[in-house]
Structure 1
Amino acid sequence: MTKRTRKKPSPKRRTSSFKKYAIFLLSLLFVGAFVAGGLYMYGFFTTPEVPKKQEVVVSDALMEKMKTMLENERQRLNEKTLPVLERPLKALPSEPEKPLEKEPVETSVYEEVQQRPSEVADYEKSLQKTSKTIVFEKKPPATFTGRPKLAIIIDDVSFAHHVRKIKEIPFKITPSILPPTSRHPDSHTLAKEFPVYMVHLPLEALSHNAPEEKTLKVGDTEEEIHGWVRELKTLFPKALYYNNHTGSRFTAHLGSMEKLISALKKEKLIFLDSRTTPHAKAPDLAKKYDMLIHSRDVFLDNSYEKEAIRAQLKEAVRLAKRNGQAIAIGHPHANTLSVLAAAKDILVEVDVVYVGELQ
């Protein structure tokens, strides 16, 4: 049996097969290219063009964003070289204007305030402007019977937290309430919280950085003054006494005070002089109009130190014992109200009364 052997393809035959494959592949490529070209012509592979207008908008937006980023970075680098407290104001974020609150945070009661009480500061400034030494007339010895009387007034009452703190004092306190303004629009509603209260009437000062709205000024007409008094009487129907808030200029001006005293008498009201000037005209007008006009004897809080306030309260007691009665004026600050709340040992020798109980 003979063994059959497989013949190897000849080189000529292999070359022929390779040519066939190559021609086949080239044909496929040609057809594919032809189809792709056709599709390209019909837009299947093309990206829709962005309208020119849209391209401009996008470009402008990007440019604006880049400018903003560069400006912010420039400011940041500049601020790094400056101390924190010296940064330019424009670098700080601006806050929208906040609406006025009816009652601010209770800083005036719970924290010591650096600014001095208005009446005290006004009185001290009036003394500085005085060209000669002023000696107040001493009251004659008391002829009153019974125990000495001391009336304690708290000026500048204008918020609900003032009311709460005053009510914690276990003695008769006469609050003097400021008329309503944009800063304390509901101050007049606080009057209903007290059995007795006064009106703290703003009058013009010789020098005051922040006078109250509707402060009566030297030069106001009799009609303007009387009209404001009538309006206040409507707002505070049960108030009998009015004392001045500041007023070192007004209360030293005879013509202006005469208009005020005349208006108060017509409305059956009584003026109490906070005595913010040594040149007050109220005592002279009291005789002319045959009116009872009281005046302050002591400011309690010339200083906010508790020991200083206690010392002033002791002085008020001394004057009450000497003269039969006295008037002390304080303000709704934390230390003032705290001292009064714990002043039983100081006030043991006097009767603490409302202003209307004085003679």
Structure 2
Amino acid sequence: MTKKTRKKSSKKTKKNSSISKVKLINIFLLVFLFAFIASALSYFIMKNEKENTNKTIIEKKEVKKFQEKKLDEFFKLEEDPKDAFEEYTQEFNKDHIDKPFEEIKQEIQKKKEELEKKKIEKTPLEKKEAPSKTTNDISLFLKKSLYKYDGKSKPKIVIMIDDVSSSRQKKAILDIGYKVNMAFLPPTKGHPNSAKIAQDLPFHMIHFPMQASSKFKGPEKNTLKITHTYEQIEQRVKDLRKWYPNAVFTNNHTGSVFTQNEEAMDKLFRALKKYNFIFVDSRTTAKSVAKKMAEKYNMPYIVRNTFMDNKKEYAYIQNQLKKAIKIAKKRGYAIAIGHPHSMTIKVLKESKHLLKGIEPIFVNELPYL
């Protein structure tokens, strides 16, 4: 091989070597570029997934929060009872227990003597035109007053849930697993089916809206007012009879103003008697004249003993239920009122063991009726 040929071969080798290095660099750069792109894509994908995951978590939390809020709204779970759907008065915090038996007996005896005196004072003509009924004038009222628990039969407890207006509430109450009295609000645009869903129940009541104090800002439509005429009140009672043909018992929704007004309550009891209704006093005011009207119209006097859920706390509600049970064991029966709050329903469902030896009943099964 000549010197010239060797020189050419050396240049060719160097050239090939240079090309190989360029190729390697290009390949390396290409690999690096792919790696960089892959890393960048991976980063953005992971970031996007993380963001989506976080977004999903936030959305789930928001959905849950929304659902809980809606559920709370559905069950009327306001934190402040003063803003609650039901009127809140100081009387809600008080347990109502009738006077001692001996004191009631003295009142009854006095009433009998008054009636006898009126009978004697009447002329023969007056007696012929309007014969005195004496004791029968207050017979149903007397039944409650004279009832004395024998201590042998099972004590009875009437648990009422007011403000019922939907199928969902009805189902939740039925799932409690024992007799609970449902008091349904009359139909309005807000709850148009409240009367329909009550009809297939073995027993139901009407939760009758009546005038509350001016502090209460959420009155139901067609709430009875003390300014209403007898004709207006009678028409409202007539409507209730049409909507709830099988109901007999009605209790007041709110009504701290209405139930202490003698003239208004007289009109109401007159209409209730005409359409075969019996009034249960929710006793939202200590000044309620329901007892007086029950006596006047020869109707049974029924009044609640405790409100269970002034506070929507498990321990509080259960303690109020225990109070009602204690009253029932002492005098043979008790009436406790609550509302369709999820917490109230939960407590009632989980408190069956407290009712051992106690019989939950509908209000028409009270022992003195």
TM-score by length of 1: 0.65
User: 2: distance between equivalents of 1:317 and 1:134?
Assistant: 12
Partner of 2:186: 179
Is residue 251 of structure 2 the alignment partner of residue 290 of structure 1? Answer: no
Deviation string, structure 1 residues 246-299 (Cα, Å, up to 9, x no partner): 000000000000000111011111000000000000101111111102001000
* Conserved 8 A contact 2:95-2:305: no
Query: 5 Å matches for 1:82-121?
Result: 105-108=70-73, 112-116=77-81, 117-119=84-86, 121=88
Is residue 335 of structure 2 the alignment partner of residue 317 of structure 1? Answer: no
User: 1: distance between equivalents of 2:251 and 2:266?
Assistant: 15
User: 1: distance between equivalents of 2:71 and 2:261?
Assistant: 36
Partner of 1:151: 158
Letter in 2 for 1:300: M
User: 2: distance between equivalents of 1:125 and 1:292?
Assistant: 22
* Conserved 8 A contact 2:91-2:286: no
Secondary structure of residue in 1 paired with 2:263: helix
Secondary structure of residue in 2 paired with 1:345: helix
User: 2: distance between equivalents of 1:344 and 1:126?
Assistant: 24
* Conserved 8 A contact 2:97-2:305: no
Partner of 1:259: 267
Query: 5 Å matches for 1:40-189?
Result: 105-108=70-73, 112-116=77-81, 117-119=84-86, 121=88, 123-124=89-90, 137-140=98-101, 143-145=148-150, 146-189=153-196
Secondary structure of residue in 2 paired with 1:260: helix
Letter in 2 for 1:140: F
Q: How big is the alpha-carbon RMSD for the aligned residues of Structure 1 and Structure 2?
A: 2.4
After TM superposition, give the deviation of residue 118 of structure 1 in Å: 4.5
The one of 246, 252, 277 equivalent to 1:244 is 252
* Conserved 8 A contact 1:108-1:333: no
User: 2: distance between equivalents of 1:349 and 1:134?
Assistant: 22
Q: 1:135 to 1:316 in 2, by over 3 A?
A: closer
Secondary structure of residue in 2 paired with 1:106: helix
Deviation string, structure 1 residues 109-156 (Cα, Å, up to 9, x no partner): 6784324254461x32899xxxxx999643539623411100000000
User: 1: distance between equivalents of 2:220 and 2:75?
Assistant: 23
User: 1: distance between equivalents of 2:85 and 2:229?
Assistant: 25
User: 2: distance between equivalents of 1:194 and 1:137?
Assistant: 31
Deviation string, structure 1 residues 308-347 (Cα, Å, up to 9, x no partner): 0000000000011111111000000011000101111211
* Conserved 8 A contact 1:218-1:253: yes
The one of 186, 195, 203 equivalent to 2:210 is 203
Secondary structure of residue in 1 paired with 2:195: helix
Query: 5 Å matches for 1:326-337?
Result: 326-337=334-345
Letter in 2 for 1:106: L
Deviation string, structure 1 residues 53-112 (Cα, Å, up to 9, x no partner): xxxxxxxxxxxxxxxxxxxxxxxxxxxxxxxxxxxxxxxxxxxxxxxxxxx943346784
Is residue 351 of structure 2 the alignment partner of residue 343 of structure 1? Answer: yes
Partner of 1:77: none
Q: 1:126 to 1:332 in 2, by over 3 A?
A: closer
User: 2: distance between equivalents of 1:336 and 1:288?
Assistant: 36
Q: 1:140 to 1:118 in 2, by over 3 A?
A: farther
Q: Greater helix share, 1 or 2?
A: 2
Q: 1:354 to 1:125 in 2, by over 3 A?
A: closer
Deviation string, structure 1 residues 26-66 (Cα, Å, up to 9, x no partner): xxxxxxxxxxxxxxxxxxxxxxxxxxxxxxxxxxxxxxxxx
Q: 1:348 to 1:153 in 2, by over 3 A?
A: same
Which stretch of structure 1 is more off in the superposition, 287-296 or 147-156? Answer: 287-296
Q: Of the two, which has the highest radius of gyration?
A: 1
User: 2: distance between equivalents of 1:272 and 1:111?
Assistant: 23
User: 2: distance between equivalents of 1:111 and 1:251?
Assistant: 24
* Conserved 8 A contact 1:158-1:184: yes
For structure 2, which runs of at least 5 residues remain unmatched after alignment? 1-68, 103-146
Partner of 2:17: none
After TM superposition, give the deviation of residue 164 of structure 1 in Å: 1.2
User: 2: distance between equivalents of 1:151 and 1:315?
Assistant: 13
Is residue 241 of structure 2 the alignment partner of residue 275 of structure 1? Answer: no
User: 2: distance between equivalents of 1:150 and 1:137?
Assistant: 16
User: 1: distance between equivalents of 2:85 and 2:191?
Assistant: 17
Over the matched positions of the two proteins, sequence identity in percent amounts to 38
Is residue 217 of structure 2 the alignment partner of residue 231 of structure 1? Answer: no
The one of 221, 225, 247 equivalent to 1:217 is 225
Q: 1:305 to 1:135 in 2, by over 3 A?
A: closer
Secondary structure of residue in 1 paired with 2:191: coil
* Conserved 8 A contact 2:199-2:244: no
Partner of 1:38: none
